[in-house]
Amino acid sequence: MAAPLPAPPPSAALVDGFGRAIDYLRVSVTDRCDFRCVYCMSETVTFVPKADVLRLEELERLCRAFIDLGVRRLRLTGGEPLIRPGIMGLIRGLGNLIGAGKLDELNLTTNASRLETLAAELAECGVRRINVSLDTLDPDRFRALTRHGDLTRVLAGIEAARKAGLAVKINCVALKGINEDEYDRIIGWCGERGFDLTLIEVMPLGDSGQQLGPSQFLSLDEVRRRLEQTWSLEPLALRTGGPARYHRIKETGCRLGLITPITGSFCESCNRVRLTATGRLYLCLGREQSVDLRAPLRSTAPEDTAALYAELRRAIAHKPEGHGFAPGTCPPAPAITRPMNITGG
């Protein structure tokens, strides 16, 4: 794995042109996945050539540079991060930075297909929280939504994570006419297991966004009003580094997060950027602007930290003020041609 970089001066913290401190990095370690979720990628997706993907030690070097410049939260995503060969070595290397006081959190977003065998090792490496994408508890519906997924295997992985002591949060994309009849059931299921739940408005990304988003878009304002007929929702001031707005569900004691990129905006407090497996830095999920970090990474010697830090600061300076999803426009028009598995969840 990458050699440690010497810490830069405190004045080198990453601040964008709008005064927002960037302390949260999401890293897509692969665009590949063992599922083909209908809102994420097409069934006949073409993956990035392996020759274009950063080596794991290169990804670690970039992550460490971001951490040296003030990033305190790191989330590994995909595709499905746990299918990448050697990924546990990267996770272990980054997890060591928590014990060293350089990183507050190392988390993971996963479809849970590999969790049954890896959950205990993840916890041992320093991961404390995971987000699991789970849009339905119906096996047939799950297979239809994921095209390849086995719900039994996913639920076994989630249970393994719980037993390993990992805090589990369930992410559920709200899909009109597909899973909107299940939210009460999912809330009850999460409550029985002590899991928080986040509902997410479907975003117009890639081919799936064009084909699925407009017709299956469901406003979470509408969902919240429906839920309030059954559940007592208490607004919380809690912020966890992401865009969700949280409520406490009185009947279960668990938290319900709502992510509303279409019907609401959270850009004013955005503190995150996304790094792809090819070394491209996307400054906003809802914009096409990106910066290539692979070239400067490979053109600078590992000991030339100043040049790499300068590249990262220049990139962050171009972070846009807000996304391009046109808040309040329902259903949303296709906005981004880039599929979700490229950017990472």
The highest-confidence range among 87-91, 214-218, 308-312, 329-333, by mean pLDDT, is 87-91
Q: What percent of the chain lies above the pLDDT cut of 90?
A: 69
Looking at per-residue confidence, does 331 or 156 come out higher?
A: 156
Q: What is the token pair recorded at 305?
A: 């930290």
Confidence of residue 243 (pLDDT cuts 50, 70, 90): confident
pLDDT digits (tens, 9 = 90+) for 118-132: 999 999 999 999 999
pLDDT digits (tens, 9 = 90+) for 84-121: 999 999 999 999 999 999 999 999 999 999 999 999 99
Is 118 in contact with 90 (CB distance < 8 Å)? no
* pLDDT for 209 beyond 50: no
Crossing angle (nearest 10°) for helices 151-163 and 139-146: 100
pTM of the model: 0.89
Neighbours of 125 (CB within 10 A): 19
Q: Residue 302 corresponds to which amino acid?
A: P
| pLDDT score at 216 | 83
d(CA 95, CA 267): 29
Q: What is the residue-averaged pLDDT of the chain?
A: 88
* pLDDT for 285 beyond 90: no
| pLDDT score at 215 | 72
| pLDDT score at 44 | 82
d(CA 9, CA 11): 5
Q: What is the token pair recorded at 161?
A: 């994570």
Q: Residue 331 corresponds to which amino acid?
A: P
The highest-confidence range among 10-14, 178-182, 212-216, by mean pLDDT, is 178-182
- How many residues are given for the chain? 345
| pLDDT score at 10 | 44
pLDDT digits (tens, 9 = 90+) for 8-63: 444 458 999 999 999 999 999 999 999 998 888 888 888 899 999 999 999 999 99
| pLDDT score at 69 | 96
**Domains of the chain, start order:** 10-343 (3.20.20.70)
284, β-bridge pairs: none
Looking at per-residue confidence, does 344 or 148 come out higher?
A: 148
* pLDDT for 210 beyond 50: no
Closest CA to 282 of 97, 11, 77, 57: 77
* pLDDT for 213 beyond 60: no
d(CA 215, CA 168): 30
